[in-house]
A = this chain, B = another copy of it.
Amino acid sequence: MLRTNTCGELRLANVGQTVTLCGWVQRTRDKGAVLYLDLRDRYGLTQVVFEQGVEADELREQARNLGREFVVSITGRVAERYNKNPNLPTGDIEIRPEAVQVLNPAKLPPFLIEDETDGGDDLRMKYRYLDLRRNPVRRNLELRHRLAQSVRRYLDNQGFLEVETPVLIKSTPEGARDFVVPSRMNPGQFYALPQSPQTFKQLLMVSGFDRYFQIVKCFRDEDLRADRQPEFTQIDCEMAFVTQEDILQTFEGMTRQMFVEVKGFDPGEFPRMSYADAMRLYGSDKPDTRFAMQFVELNEVVKGHGFPVFDSAELVVGINAATCAQFTRKQLDELTDFVKRPQVGATGLVYARVEQDGNVKSSVDKFYSQEVLQQWKQAFNANPGDLLLILAGPADKTRKALNELRLEMGQRLGLRNKEDFRPLWVVDFPLLEFNEEEGRYYAMHHPFTSPKPEDIPLLDTNPGQVRANAYDLVINGVEIGGGSIRIHDRSVQASMFKLLGFSEEEAKAQFGFLLDAFEYGAPPHGGIAFGFDRLCSMFGGADSIRDFIAFPKNNSGRDVMIDSPSEISGAQLKELSIESKVEAAK
């Protein structure tokens, strides 16, 4: 190695040694007679001192000419510092240099390579290789590495085999939009990039592989919302001869080990909640359980008192924002504005304060006597100082709006601490979702999810009521993973495709290989997939996945650093037997 040590490892014990460090010039501070240089690499920062009368003048002159981000090699002696820096792991020592070599000069970077940078998003993405030098971004990728290693170690110990499934596969109409790849050797035909290795991992179960996993890139050509990427990474897992309970246990174990190994604590046993309860108590299938503030349904208490909004509503439901009675008029107006936003969708907000004397004062006092308001208080189990926030309207829409309001209140009250981790299994998802517009059912998870055996009779009579052996792992209101016990019987799978509107031919053309496979001895099996980018950002205490991806794309699916996608040559198009209609229009 060109270095003997890294910039993060020298301590008092090394004093007296002659070392060579390589790294980037973080900064120089020229005090005239003394020049300090901070040398940085991925392991840390080490101070180098050029002192008049101690180090040669030429060396100090040379150091004076080193700009930020120059790559240098410095050989010198490790010395104890006079003024130790307790905030720096190497703060007890400094280097007294004997030789300085510039390995590569550097232009002034377009933004500061510091924890707090002056670079805007666009600039940082264009010069992503410089942004990656900053500690916070680098640490995110180190965290990602450690999480991946932890996952692999756990699954390897549990007898899982990592098997690579193909990236060039086949386009299917179900699910999100596919990215496709024209085949030169098969003109007029296209591969698709996988949205997940779902069918392949099921085939591996049919093959007897028993316990499979893969940390694998997946692809979705979707319009990119703030925090989606066209390529993303899954921890993809499948097991045979298991029940749902086995899967929950196995992957609860994996997640707990990640917490222990990477965050240094064990979150304990994960609570479980049915989908029905999650929707009823939190209005969401991914409740943030860092704080309670559960929904209270009020229909029975509020109806028949002449308030038309409540009387006509399918659902009247509220939350108790404990200790918030002191909210000002302005704050309450803000909350009313909040719930009326289109993306929240409520028509208005009713509130009630529980005053210190126990009386309740509401925004709809003219309809409700104190006696009735006391019943509200009871329903919410509210105490003096509490604030009751109530929405009314169509059930689904109102729950969704109250979920948003609950999260907003949690945020305002500081109840959503990023270092407080509350995992939760949500179980018993519905098998199907009815799409009103299209008048058809869609698979809530995917078409391979098995119905609960006891609900199978409902498939003919009331498909919407059928529950699936499907489960999500939710942490702090974010879906981290999801999976199901799969169908392993050809006829059940065929019925499922039919229910989802596939003709027999379509089912055969798209998934014939899987239906066939089920006839040659398919074991009972199930699995789960984790969104690895999301999991990393969750562990890193961040909201966005982008900074946990080395080279992410922007919201238009562009990599602005390498300027991709880009046009390709006419010769390439011709070889692929395709024509660009954009080209043709020119």
A interface residues (Cβ-Cβ under 8 A, vs B): 1-3, 22-24, 40-42, 69-71, 73, 103-107, 109, 127-130, 132-133, 138, 141-142, 144-145, 148-149, 152, 156, 161-171, 173, 177-193, 199-200, 203-204, 206-210, 217, 219, 221, 223-224, 230-231, 233, 240-243, 246, 488-489, 512-513, 517-524, 549-551, 553, 556-559, 561-569, 572, 575-584
Contact = CB atoms under 8 A, between A and B. Distances in A.
Given A127-B520, A152-B152, A167-B231, 15 more contacts: A23-B208, A42-B208, A107-B519, A149-B156, A164-B233, A166-B231, A180-B572, A184-B221, A185-B223, A192-B564, A203-B551, A513-B563, A577-B580, A579-B579, A579-B580
A104 B488 CA distance: 8
Contact of A3 (B163, B183, B241, B517): B241
Contacts of A581: 187-188, 577-579
A157 to B, nearest CB: 10
A575 B522 CA distance: 38
Nearest to A202: B129
14 contacts: A22-B241, A41-B210, A42-B209, A104-B488, A107-B520, A129-B203, A141-B209, A170-B563, A179-B181, A181-B193, A186-B557, A186-B558, A188-B582, A191-B564
State the 4 A-B residue pairs at the shortest beta-carbon distance, nearest first.
A188-B582, A106-B521, A132-B207, A170-B564
Given A106-B519, A181-B180, A208-B132, A170 B566 contact: yes
Contacts of A488: 104
A104 B2 contact: no
Contacts of A564: 168-170, 191-192
A252 to B, nearest CB: 15
A565 B104 contact: no
Given A145-B161, A203-B129, A188 B580 contact: yes
A402 B321 CA distance: 86
Contacts of A562: 169-170, 199, 513
Contacts of A149: 152, 156, 162
Contact of A169 (B132, B167, B559): B559
A562 B517 CA distance: 11
A513 B192 CA distance: 29
B170 A148 contact: no
Contact of A24 (B156, B178, B208): B208
B217 A521 contact: no
A23 B104 CA distance: 62
Contacts of A517: 129
B567 A189 contact: yes
B557 A185 contact: yes
A22 B243 CA distance: 13
B208 A550 contact: no
A208 B3 CA distance: 14
Nearest to A23: B208
Contacts of A553: 166, 168
B2 A242 contact: yes
Nearest to A215: B164
Contacts of A199: 562
B103 A523 contact: yes
Contacts of A156: 145, 149
Given A171-B566, A557-B186, A578-B580, A489 B104 contact: yes
Given A163-B141, A564-B191, A132 B551 contact: no
A302 B2 CA distance: 50
Contacts of A583: 188
Given A22-B241, A170-B564, A520-B130, A556 B208 contact: no
A110 B183 CA distance: 30
A582 B104 contact: no
A174 to B, nearest CB: 13
Contacts of A165: 550-551
Contacts of A512: 563
A171 B572 contact: yes
B181 A138 contact: no
Given A169-B559, A581-B577, A565 B190 contact: yes
A149 B148 CA distance: 12
A537 to B, nearest CB: 14
Contact of A557 (B73, B142, B183): B183
Contacts of A24: 208, 521
A2 B180 contact: no
A559 B241 CA distance: 28
Contacts of A129: 203-204, 206-207, 517, 520
A557 B184 CA distance: 9
Contacts of A241: 1-3, 22, 73
B522 A71 contact: yes
A8 to B, nearest CB: 11
Nearest to A233: B164
A246 B22 CA distance: 15
Contact of A109 (B105, B520, B576, B580): B520
A576 B190 CA distance: 12
Contacts of A70: 521
B182 A180 contact: yes
B521 A2 contact: no
A140 to B, nearest CB: 11
